[in-house]
């Protein structure tokens, strides 16, 4: 069975650095028989600008957000994927808001039993990968931290490639050695 790879782009630029990273990562996985599915978080339609904290998902056994919009279908894809790739530009020392909306809506993929002190999630056993780029190099650890914590919390393995000094959108294509690194990660992950 080929592995299912879900790539979520958090960049509002379709021709920018994040897109280049995704393109190269795909090149790697396709050579190994992987089937990528790409979602552009910035171009999805949402009923609300983030998680509403309604907590209705916690009253159901299903790993589904009750808000029936585009984020909901991304979450369903996430639950079925083997590998989840989150690709984002560094925006003020964190992921883009476009990606963060999806990350917060992942609340519906966790089922907490506070009395028992347990949490169940279909994310357990999957792989989470962070691909990111930044204009400079400051704060890359801050960007990576929430992803490492989410991976640890949910029982996913984690890998990342963050490219510093990537310039503005599209400049990363002129940086020596980046493409090779990302293609290699795509190959290695399968
Ligand atoms: C709103 C915004 C915030 C940014 N914040 C940072 C930052 O804190 N540090 C940094 O090094 N680059 C920052 N950048 C630059 C981007 O992270 C960088 O150019 C990235 O490679 C762009 O990726 P993209 O072409 O996919 O949008 C910012 C860019 C924007 C538009």
Q: What is the mean pLDDT of the chain?
A: 96
Give the integer Cα–Cα distance in Å for 60 and 65. 10
End-to-end CA distance of the chain: 12
Going from the Cα of 27 to the center of ligand 1, the distance in angstroms, rounded, reads: 24
Please give the number of the atom of ligand 1 that sits closest to the Cα of 90: 17
Per-residue pLDDT at 27: 96
Confidence at 35, pLDDT banded by 50, 70, 90: confident
Read off the CATH number of the domain in which 184 is found.
3.40.50.360
Would the CB of 34 count as within 6 Å of ligand 1? Answer: no
Per-residue confidence band for 176, with pLDDT thresholds at 50, 70 and 90:
very high
98 confidence band (pLDDT: 50, 70, 90) = very high
Residue 113 is predicted with a pLDDT of 94
Best substitution site from 41, 134, 139 to test ligand 1's pocket, by max atoms within 8 Å of Cβ?
Answer: 134
Residue 77 CA, chain-centre distance (Å), reads: 12
Determine if ligand 1 sits within 6 Å of the CB of residue 13: yes
Measured by CA distance, the residue closest to atom 31 of ligand 1 is 91
- pLDDT over 80 at 1, yes or no: no
Q: Which atom from ligand 1 is nearest to the alpha carbon of 19?
A: 26
As a whole number, mean pLDDT of residues 49-64 equals 96
**Owner of token pair 């310039």:** 167
Q: What pLDDT does 2 receive?
A: 81
Confidence category of residue 22, pLDDT binned at 50, 70, 90: very high
Query: What contacts 180, CB < 8 A, 6 or more positions away?
Result: none
The whole-number average pLDDT for the span 46-64 is 96
Domains identified in the chain, total number: 1
Q: In this predicted model, what pLDDT tens digit does every residue of 160-172 receive, in sequence order?
A: 999 999 999 999 9
- Is the CB of 98 inside a 6 Å radius of any atom of ligand 1? no
pLDDT of residue 174: 96
Query: What domain range includes position 51?
Result: 4-188
Residue 48 Cβ < 6 Å to ligand 1: no
The proportion of the chain whose per-residue pLDDT surpasses 90, expressed as a percent, equals 96
């Amino acid at each position: 069975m080929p592995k299912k790879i879900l790539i979520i782009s958090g960049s509002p630029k379709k021709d920018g650095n994040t897109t280049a990273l995704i393109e190269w990562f795909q090149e790697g996985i396709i050579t190994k028989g992987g089937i990528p599915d790409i979602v552009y978080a910035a171009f999805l339609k949402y009923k609300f600008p983030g998680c509403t904290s309604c907590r209705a998902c916690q009253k159901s056994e299903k790993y589904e957000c009750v808000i029936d919009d585009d984020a909901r279908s991304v979450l369903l894809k996430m639950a079925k994927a083997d590998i989840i790739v989150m690709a984002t530009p560094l925006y003020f020392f964190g992921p883009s808001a476009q990606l963060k909306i999806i990350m917060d809506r992942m609340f519906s993929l966790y089922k907490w039993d506070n009395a028992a002190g347990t949490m169940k999630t279909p994310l357990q056993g999957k792989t989470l990968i962070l691909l990111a780029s930044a204009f400079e190099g400051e704060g890359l650890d801050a960007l990576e931290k929430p992803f490492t914590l989410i991976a640890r919390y949910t029982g996913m393995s984690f890998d990342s490639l963050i490219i510093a000094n990537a310039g503005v959108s599209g400049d990363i294509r002129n940086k020596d050695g980046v493409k090779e690194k990302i293609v290699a990660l795509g190959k290695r992950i399968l």
